[in-house]
Structures are given as structure tokens and as C-alpha cells.
């Protein structure tokens, strides 16, 4: 059932994208979960109707006790009415809260899932705009705000129901005098709108500062190894504390505004009582005991909706900001797959393609525009200015090309001329905005194409253009076939080596033979034999427990296992030694990826391999169909190794000459180079790590860095010139080991304490808030607040018992008591919020200090997301949720204690 509702939320979102009106997250949530939420509202309606049985029965009991001749069954009947109403109220209220909490939890889960799925398909430009801190806050703080809203959202309508019924019964008790209280309620409506708008602006500023701080936390946690190596802990600690102080300043303004809002709406029932009794007295009426006590009971009922209504309005404002943030994120541009064009078979075709990085587009800032029309006009103008800049960049690039062609009528451009014209006067704009310029490229099945170029020339961008990661603004791009991409910085997830290789293809879809072939072709057999758990060895986050070469080879094995039609390899050979690189090039890239010689593993077909590399020793291989030289974002030269080498003035020849100069000391001129001349035999090393060096799973915390790439060939891997067929592959039991592997990362569910929260936790928070001074002051504040409330009710009862007294004097005293109650409420709320901020600040500093001083083993064995959650969701709980919950709890507790004292 839950899956159906989550699916309904997703389907409703897609349907709204096709409608003419603006898509709404709130509308999608209502269509998915609204029916259950409305059912909960019906239970609350039954509860609210029964809540007025008490005042009516109270008036009847007073009359019954005042009349000695009243029959006994009348009193018993009134008692039965009260008992039944209280039972029904209790049943309905508990089920109402259960259903509201359940709906809130489901909404939060649906939002977290959709934000996570959206983050996986964002375009490259949106990934630059949406920081990790913002996404984390969307999944924690904003989702939590929407969940919290569901608990009392029904107060939007049941508050008016309770207010209306209360005023009806007050009319019956006090007559038209209750209109004075109604006037007070109506006066507070526009004031509430102003306060809500003010708090909305404060909430927006608070969330923006929180995004910046959480993003900085995430950056520091993700790069803790570099920070510790350079001894920058104190510097980054100061930066985070500076951002935290900015966040606390915004939070202080917000809590002061919230305290003012609570004070105003807590004062409304008191103002209503004063206005009602004032009208009642000045119209010549006399207040008796029955009317006074019944009116007090009705005013107590009126107190809750008037108190909850501003709270819900504030929650609506906060949730509105969260809905707006979710709306903007979920409507962000997604990555669009590249079309197949006119290709009928596997291949790539780029014709006059010009590409840009959308991340270079300046971010649009609203500058506080409140008008929606003005904001849309400014955004449209911003987009047009960006389009004009791109057109100017293309025009400038075209003018440079025309100028170069005019200087060379034969049309043969040397690399120096191209470089001079592009880098000449006026060429800065083109270089800044255009990532790739006028790219013409075609390949078909069976092509092994090498892409070379200097650092920053656009080799990686060329691969990303094929993936659709950079935007095409001119020309055409068509790609047909399954893609496998091996990035320059391999993505390694916190999981076993096997799951990093198969990458989702598990259980029924797992191919054992192809998996073994990928392991062998990427020279991973010996590495697995040195690991205690073989291929079930758990890898730390970002491959922290692996060497650079091991991470590159695992990423290559993952790409090979996918059995794709097109392989895009971004310089994977730079992370391994020469002899390992030769093995990978011959066995993995040529034999398996290109020629697919392991016919037993899959259907025999030739794939396309595009290899970005500056390892020139592999370019003379006869399987390399052509070499593409990229310079300054454009294809400068295309040809075979012999063709490009024969051009003395080519850019490729300059690469060869640089390598020639580097090898002159060894008398190894590259002019006589071919791929087999280089000595790629492995060298014996003195730091080989055997499998016996692994520690047991009980006394280790982190897997050691087992070996470097130059260790691999010393034991067991022989670089023989044969294909990686399954029949020739080596059998290694470690890969098929069935016993449970030892866990590297700590398990939060096992370490988390169960049951109630220990009292020491609350005492530690109270100690940070001010210690005994805070506890004593808080107790005194609640005692005074409750004492003033009890004194107000006692004074009204005393007034009703002195019918011949001066009504104006009684009324003045009653008004003074109520104004004192309002003042004590404001002071109490501000005090608890300020002390809560003090505790939150100190606890955050301690948390940050402990994190900065923690050893690297802690970060190696603790997932980054878990640590970030401590600085996002848990800090938000300390900042706001804990204080608000404790304030409500203490208010209820003090009310119960006060009632017990009065009754006793």
C-alpha cells in the first residue's frame, strides 16, 4: 500500500508537469495522501464536538448543586454524559494523532526519495548550482518541517470550529457581550498576516545561511585527509564557526519573532476575556458563579485554538519556504540523453559541434524582488544576456577562423597559427565560454580511437560531450549503443569489491564468467588474493582503503563487465605502472573491450573504444585506428600514428619530441620507437604484502593499503600475450567465498542506543544551557506563569461571589493580572529560546572540536553521510525542535501541577 501511495505521488508530479498551471509539491502530496489525512480530520471533528459537553454539564451541575430539590437521577445522568464524552474524546484524539503522524512520515519518506532520485538525474549545470549542503537540508530539514506540519495542520479549520462554537455558548451565557471578544479576534487577523510575512523572510534567510554552513561541513568532512596532512584543522574550524555564528544570528532574530508571535496569540484569549467581561459589566449585568465558571471553561477551550492557530500559521510559513525550495529543486533541469539521430548501428557522429559548460552561466539572483512579474522579467532578461554572450563567442570564433583561412589560402593551418589567432586580441571571450569548438568526429564498431592533447585542452570535455554532460549550442550529436564510462577520478562506493564491479547487476543478472574475465583482464587477481575476504572485502568511502591504481582497475573492470557497445576511457592508464598498463591495454582494452575475444562470455561483436591518454607508447599499436589531437577545445589533427609522426610541424610531433628529450639520457630516441621496444617487465619490490599480513576482523579498524601497482606482478600474474578466455582464466576461491565478510564501516543501527533517551543527555543539554541557574530560573518562570493564571481564575470567582462590589475595580484588577500574565509568557519564551541557543552553540562547538580531533580511522570507518547528518538534522533538532517540544511539555506539566495544587 505504501508503495502505491509513493508511486501515486510520483505520477501526480508527472501529470502536473503536463498541465497549464504551475506544478505544486503540496498538491501532489495531497492527491497521494490526502484521503487518509481527511479521515483523520473527521476524528478530530468528533473530538471537538464532544469537548463542549464539559462546559454544558458544568453549568448543569452548578444548577443541580444549587437546587436542593433537584432529583438525583439528573446529577447521575450528567455524570454519565461527561464520562462518555471523555471516553469518545480520548479514542478519537489518539487515533487522530496516529493517522496524522503516519501521513507525515509517509510524506517525509516520499519527499526524501524524490529528492534523492532527482539528485541522480540533474544536469551538469544544476549540479553546479545545487550544493551538497542544500540537497542534504532538503532531505533532512525541509522534509522534517513538512512532516511536523501534518500534526496540527487541521487546526486551520478546527480552530474556527472551536472558536465559533465557543462564541455560540458564550452568547448563551453572556449575551451580546461576547461580540467584544469577537472584535478582538478580528483585529488580530491582519496583525497575524504581517507577523507571518516577517517570519517567512527570516526563515528564508535562516535556511540560506544553514545551506552554506552545511555545505562547508560536507566539504571539510569529505577532504579531512588533506586537511589533517596539512594541519589545517584549526583554520577550517574557525571558518565553520564563523558560518555557524552567522546562522545563529539569523536564528536569534527568528526565535525573537517567534516569541513575539507566541506572546501576541497567547494574549488573544486574555484580551477576549477582558473585552467580553467589560462589555458584560458596562451593559448593566451582574456576574454570578454559574456564568463565571462556565465562561471560564469556554475561555479555556477558546485558549487552545487561539494558541495553536498562530503556531500552525508559523509552521505553514516555514513549510511554505520548504515547499518553495523543494519546488525549485524538483523542477531543476535534468540530464537529457543523447539522441541516436540517423545512426542505424552502434556509433558516434558529431558534426560541427560546439559545446559549452552551463556552469559558466552566472547565477540569477532575485535581489529581493517581491513582484512575481518583475522577477520573471528580470530572469528572462538574464537568460537573453547569456544567449547574446554565447552568440558573440561563436561569432568571434568564426571571425578568428576566417582570419586564419585568409592568411593561409591553401587551407593548411599549422598549430602555431591556430594558437596565435585563438589566443590573440579579442579571443578571451571565446576561450572562456566555448568548451569545444566546431568538432567533427565519426566512429563505428571496431574503432579504437586515441585522444591526446595537452593539459586543459578539452580531452575530458570531449568525452563528456558524448555523454551529454556538456550542452551543445551548435551542430549535431548522435550516439547509438550502450555506453560505459571510466572517469579520470574513479567512483568507488562503500561496498564490497564485487558489488563495485558488477554495479547493480546482482543475483539473477550476475554473470560469473564475465566477472572473472573482467577481474583477470584488469590484473586484479593478485590483489584479491592478498585481501582477507577476497572480492567480498569492503571498500571504504571513495576507495579510501585502496591505492590509486587499484581504484582505476576496479573502475575498468566495472566498465568491462557492463558489456557495452561504446567504451569511454578517460586516461585510466596514468594511475598504473608501465608493466601493469601494458597488460591492461592488451588484455582489457584491446582483447576484451575492442575485439571481445572471450566469445564464451557474450556474443562476439566489436565495440568502440575511445581512449584518452598521453601514454604515447600505446599509440603505435596496430589496433589504434586513428589518433585525435585536441588543442584549445578544437580538433587540431586527426590521423594514424605514422601519419601524424611524419608531419614535422604537427602538434603530435611536438609531443614526440618532448618524450625524445626526456629519454636522451638513456639513449632511447623515440623516433625509432614502437610499442614493443619498451621494457615493460616487472621489477621485484621489497615491500610486497602477502595475504598473511592481513589482520583479523576482530582487532582491526581499517583495511591497510595492501600494495601498490608495482607489487602485482611479483606473485601470480604473468603478462602472456593471450586473450582472457574463461578456460584460460585462473581459479581463485577467494572470489567465490561464501562466508560472511568482515565489515569495515561501523553500523549505526547496531551502535545506536535503544529505548528511552538517557537522563544524562538532557542533563548535559541543561548544563550547556546554563546549568543549575537555567533549571532554577526555568522552574521559577513556569511557577510564576502558572501562579498568575491560577490567580486570574481565582479573582474572577471572587468577583462573581461579591455581587454588591465595585465592578469597575474588579475589572481593572482582572485586566492588570492578565497583562502581567502576557508579560510573564513573553519573558519565559524568550528565556528558554535564548538558553536553548546557548546550549546549541556550545554543543555544536564540542561536536566540531571532537570531529576535527578524531583520527583518520574514524573517517575511514564512518560513512560521510552519517557525520553530515549530525551537523544538519541533529543540529536542527537542537536549534528548534528540542526547545519547542520542551516548552510545550513543561507548559502541560506545569498546568497539571497547578490544577492538582488548586484542587487539593
Q: What is the pLDDT of residues 796-806, one digit of tens each?
A: 777 766 766 67
Query: Where residue 709 falls among pLDDT bands split at 50, 70, 90?
Result: very low
What pLDDT, on a 0 to 100 scale, did the predictor assign at position 696?
Answer: 37
pLDDT at 106: 92
pLDDT band of residue 753 (cuts 50, 70, 90) is low
Rounded distance between C-alpha atoms, residue 901 and residue 904, angstroms: 5
- E strand or H helix that includes residue 626: strand 624-631
| Average predicted confidence (pLDDT) for the chain | 77
Out of 189-193, 270-274, 465-469, 777-781, which region has the weakest mean confidence (pLDDT)? 189-193
- The C-alpha cell that represents 787 in the structure block: 501562579
Output DSSP code: residue 533.
T
Pairing, β 566-570 against β 483-486: parallel
**268, 185 Cβ separation under 8 angstroms:** yes
Q: What is the per-residue pLDDT across 187-233, written as a single tens digit (0 to 9) for each?
A: 877 777 777 778 878 888 888 888 889 889 888 988 888 899 888 99
Per-residue model confidence (pLDDT) at position 639: 87
Q: Residue 448 forms beta bridges with which residues?
A: 609, 624
Pick from 481, 517, 477: which is nearest to 501 by CA? Answer: 517
What whole-number distance in Å separates Cα of residue 873 and Cα of residue 886? 18
The pLDDT of residue 567 is 92
- Block residue for cell numbers 525549485: 328
Confidence of residue 236 (pLDDT cuts 50, 70, 90): very high
Q: How many CB atoms lie within 10 A of CB 507?
A: 6
Query: Is 242's pLDDT higher than 90?
Result: yes
Helix (H, G, I), strand (E, B) or coil at 494: coil
CA–CA gap between residue 386 and residue 361 (Å, rounded):
7
For the ranges 16-20, 252-256, 630-634, 810-814, the lowest mean pLDDT is seen at 16-20
pLDDT mean over 722-738 = 43
Q: In angstroms, rounded to a whole number, what is the distance separating the alpha carbons of residues 734 and 738? A: 9
pLDDT in tens, 279-328: 877 777 776 766 777 777 787 787 778 777 777 887 888 888 889 889 88
CA gap 102, 104 in Å, rounded: 5
The kind and range of the H/E element at 631 are: strand 624-631
Q: Which cell is 223 given?
A: 577532504
- The interaxial angle of helices 72-120 and 143-152, nearest 10 deg, is 160
d(CA 863, CA 857): 12
Supply the DSSP symbol for 624: E
Let me know: does 32 contact 6? Beta carbons within 8 Å: yes
Q: Is the pLDDT of residue 137 over 80?
A: yes
Query: Distance (Å, rounded) from C-alpha 115 to C-alpha 104?
Result: 16
- Rounded Cα distance, 34 and 511, in Å: 45
For 797, residues 6+ apart whose C-beta sits below 8 A from its C-beta are 289, 292, 293
Q: What values do phi and psi take at 479, rounded to 5?
A: -135, 130
On the question of pLDDT at 733 being above 70, the answer is no
Helix (H, G, I), strand (E, B) or coil at 140: helix
Model pLDDT, residue 362: 60
pLDDT greater than 50 at residue 869: yes
**Per residue in 354-382, pLDDT tens?**
888 776 666 555 554 444 445 555 555 55
Residue 679 in grid coordinates: 621494457
Q: 610 pLDDT exceeds 90?
A: yes
Asked if residue 588 has pLDDT above 70, the reply is yes
- What is the signed CA dihedral for 823, 828, 830, 835, rounded to 10 degrees? 160
Mention every residue, 6+ apart, whose C-beta is less than 8 A from residue 63.
Answer: 70, 290
Can you tell me whether residue 320 is helix, strand or coil? helix
- Position 849 scores a pLDDT of 92
Reply yes or no on whether the pLDDT at 750 is more than 60.
no
**For position 698, what pLDDT does the model report?**
35
Query: For 730, phi and psi rounded to 5 degrees?
Result: -80, 140
Asked whether the predicted pLDDT for residue 14 surpasses 70, the reply is: no
pLDDT reported for residue 374: 55
Rg (CA), the chain: 37
Is 3's pLDDT higher than 80? no
Q: To the nearest whole percent, how much of the chain has pLDDT over 90?
A: 10
Q: What are phi and psi of 704, to 5 degrees?
A: -70, 160
Find out whether 851 and 867 touch, Cβ atoms under 8 Å: yes
241 has a pLDDT exceeding 90: yes
pLDDT of res. 438:
83
DSSP 590: I
| pLDDT tens for each residue of 315-336 | 888 888 889 889 889 888 888 8
Q: Which residues are bridge partners to 349 per DSSP?
A: 442, 478
- With helix as H, strand as E and coil as C, how does 88-144 read? HHHHHHHHHHHHHHHHHHHHHHHHHHHHHHHHHCECHHHHHHCCHHHHHHHHHHHHH
Alpha carbon 56 to its chain's center: 52
> Which pLDDT score is estimated for 13?
55
Question: Per-residue pLDDT averaged across 38-63, rounded?
Answer: 85
Q: Are 539 and 500 in contact (CB under 8 A)?
A: yes
Q: Report residue 422's pLDDT band, with 50, 70 and 90 as the boundaries.
A: very low
Instruction: Indicate whether 119 pLDDT > 70.
Output: yes
Amino acid at each position: 500500500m505504501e508503495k502505491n501511495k509513493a508511486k501515486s505521488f510520483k505520477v501526480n508530479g508527472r501529470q502536473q508537469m503536463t498541465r497549464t498551471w504551475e506544478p505544486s509539491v503540496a498538491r501532489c502530496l495531497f492527491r497521494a495522501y490526502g484521503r487518509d489525512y481527511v479521515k483523520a480530520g473527521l476524528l478530530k471533528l468528533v473530538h471537538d464536538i464532544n469537548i463542549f459537553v464539559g462546559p454544558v454539564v458544568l453549568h448543569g451541575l452548578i444548577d443541580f448543586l444549587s437546587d436542593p430539590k433537584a432529583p438525583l437521577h439528573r446529577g447521575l445522568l450528567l455524570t454519565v454524559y461527561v464520562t462518555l464524552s471523555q471516553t469518545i474524546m480520548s479514542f478519537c484524539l489518539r487515533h487522530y494523532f496516529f493517522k496524522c503522524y503516519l501521513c507525515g512520515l509517509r510524506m517525509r519518506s516520499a519527499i526524501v526519495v524524490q529528492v534523492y532520485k532527482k539528485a541522480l538525474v540533474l544536469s551538469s549545470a544544476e549540479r553546479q548550482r545545487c550544493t551538497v549542503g542544500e540537497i542534504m537540508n532538503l532531505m533532512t530539514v525541509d522534509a522534517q518541517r513538512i512532516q511536523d506540519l501534518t500534526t496540527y495542520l487541521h487546526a486551520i479549520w478546527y480552530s474556527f470550529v472551536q472558536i465559533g462554537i465557543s462564541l455560540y455558548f458564550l452568547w448563551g451565557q453572556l449575551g451580546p457581550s461576547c461580540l467584544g471578544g469577537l472584535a478582538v479576534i478580528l483585529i488580530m487577523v491582519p496583525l497575524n498576516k504581517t507577523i507571518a510575512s516577517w517570519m517567512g523572510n527570516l526563515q528564508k534567510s535562516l535556511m540560506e545561511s544553514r545551506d552554506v554552513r552545511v555545505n562547508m561541513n560536507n566539504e571539510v568532512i569529505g577532504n579531512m585527509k588533506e586537511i589533517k596532512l596539512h594541519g589545517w584543522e584549526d583554520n577550517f574550524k574557525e571558518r565553520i564557526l564563523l558560518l555557524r555564528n552567522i546562522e545563529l544570528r539569523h536564528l536569534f532574530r527568528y526565535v525573537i519573532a517567534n516569541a513575539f508571535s507566541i506572546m501576541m496569540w497567547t494574549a488573544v484569549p486574555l484580551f477576549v476575556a477582558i473585552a467580553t467581561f467589560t462589555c458584560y459589566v458596562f451593559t448593566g449585568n451582574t456576574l454570578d458563579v454559574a456564568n463565571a465558571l462556565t465562561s471560564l471553561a469556554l475561555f479555556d477551550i477558546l485558549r487552545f485554538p487561539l494558541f495553536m492557530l498562530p503556531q500552525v500559521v508559523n509552521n505553514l510559513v516555514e513549510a511554505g519556504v520548504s515547499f518553495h525550495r523543494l519546488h525549485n529543486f524538483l523542477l531543476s533541469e535534468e540530464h537529457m540523453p543523447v539522441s541516436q539521430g540517423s545512426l542505424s548501428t552502434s556509433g558516434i557522429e558529431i558534426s560541427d559541434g560546439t559545446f559549452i559548460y552551463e556552469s559558466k552561466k552566472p547565477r540569477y539572483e532575485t535581489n529581493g524582488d517581491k513582484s512575481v512579474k518583475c522577477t520573471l522579467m528580470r530572469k528572462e532578461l538574464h537568460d537573453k544576456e547569456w544567449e547574446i554572450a554565447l552568440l558573440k563567442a561563436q561569432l568571434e570564433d568564426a571571425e578568428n577562423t576566417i582570419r586564419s583561412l585568409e592568411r593561409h589560402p591553401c587551407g593548411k593551418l599549422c598549430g602555431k597559427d591556430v594558437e596565435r589567432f585563438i589566443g590573440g586580441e579579442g579571443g578571451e571571450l571565446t576561450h572562456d565560454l566555448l568548451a569545444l569548438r566546431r568538432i567533427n568526429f565519426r566512429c563505428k564498431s571496431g574503432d579504437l580511437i586515441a585522444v591526446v592533447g595537452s593539459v586543459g585542452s578539452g580531452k575530458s570535455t570531449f568525452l563528456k560531450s558524448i555523454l551529454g554532460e556538456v550542452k551543445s549550442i551548435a551542430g549535431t550529436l548522435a550516439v547509438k549503443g550502450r555506453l560505459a564510462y571510466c572517469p579520470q577520478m574513479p567512483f568507488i562506493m562503500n561496498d564490497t569489491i564485487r558489488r563495485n564491479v558488477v554495479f547493480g547487476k546482482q543475483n539473477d543478472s550476475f554473470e560469473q564468467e564475465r566477472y572473472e574475465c573482467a577481474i583477470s583482464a584488469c590484473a586484479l587477481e593478485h590483489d584479491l588474493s592478498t585481501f582477507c575476504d577476497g572480492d567480498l572485502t569492503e571498500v571504504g568511502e571513495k576507495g579510501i582503503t585502496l591505492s590509486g591504481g587499484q581504484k582505476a582497475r576496479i573502475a575498468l573492470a566495472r566498465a568491462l563487465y557492463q558489456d557495452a557497445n561504446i567504451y569511454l576511457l578517460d586516461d585510466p592508464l596514468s594511475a598504473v605502472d608501465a608493466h601493469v598498463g601494458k597488460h591492461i591495454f592488451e588484455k582489457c582494452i584491446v582483447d576484451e573491450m575492442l575485439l571481445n575475444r572471450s566469445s564464451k562470455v557474450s556474443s562476439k561483436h566489436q565495440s568502440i573504444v575511445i581512449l584518452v591518454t598521453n601514454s604515447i607508447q600505446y599509440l603505435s599499436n596496430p589496433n589504434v585506428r586513428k589518433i585525435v589531437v585536441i588543442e584549445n577545445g578544437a580538433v587540431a589533427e586527426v590521423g594514424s600514428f605514422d601519419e601524424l609522426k611524419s608531419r614535422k610541424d604537427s602538434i603530435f610531433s611536438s609531443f614526440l619530441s618532448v618524450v625524445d628529450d626526456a629519454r636522451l639520457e638513456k639513449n632511447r630516441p623515440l623516433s625509432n620507437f614502437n610499442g614493443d621496444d619498451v621494457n615493460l617487465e616487472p621489477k621485484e619490490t621489497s615491500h610486497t604484502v602477502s595475504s598473511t599480513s592481513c589482520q583479523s576482523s576482530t582487532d582491526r579498524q581499517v583495511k591497510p593499503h595492501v600494495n601498490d601497482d608495482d607489487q602485482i606482478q611479483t606473485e601470480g600474474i604473468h603478462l602472456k600475450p593471450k586473450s582472457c578466455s574463461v578456460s584460460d582464466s585462473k581459479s581463485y576461491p577467494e572470489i567465490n567465498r561464501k562466508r560472511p565478510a568482515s565489515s569495515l564501516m561501523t553500523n549505526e543501527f547496531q551502535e545506536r542506543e535503544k529505548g528511552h533517551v538517557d537522563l544524562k543527555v538532557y542533563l548535559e543539554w541543561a548544563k550547556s544551557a546554563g546549568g543549575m541557574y537555567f533549571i532554577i530560573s526555568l522552574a521559577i518562570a513556569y511557577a510564576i506563569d502558572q501562579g498568575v493564571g491560577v490567580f486570574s481564575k481565582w479573582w474572577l470567582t471572587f468577583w462573581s461571589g461579591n455581587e454588591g462590589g465595585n465592578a469597575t475595580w474588579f475589572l481593572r484588577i482582572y485586566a492588570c493580572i492578565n497583562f502581567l500574565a502576557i508579560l510573564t509568557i513573553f519573558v519565559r519564551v524568550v528565556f528558554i529560546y535564548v538558553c536553548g541557543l546557548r546550549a546549541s552553540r556550545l554543543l555544536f562547538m564540542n561536536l566540531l572540536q571532537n570531529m576535527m580531533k578524531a583520527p583518520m580511522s574514524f573517517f575511514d570507518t564512518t560513512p560521510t553521510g552519517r557525520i553530515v547528518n549530525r551537523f544538519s538534522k541533529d543540529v536542527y533538532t537542537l536549534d528548534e525542535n528540542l526547545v519547542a517540544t520542551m516548552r510545550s511539555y513543561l507548559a502541560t506539566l506545569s498546568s497539571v501541577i497547578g490544577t492538582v495544587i488548586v484542587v487539593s
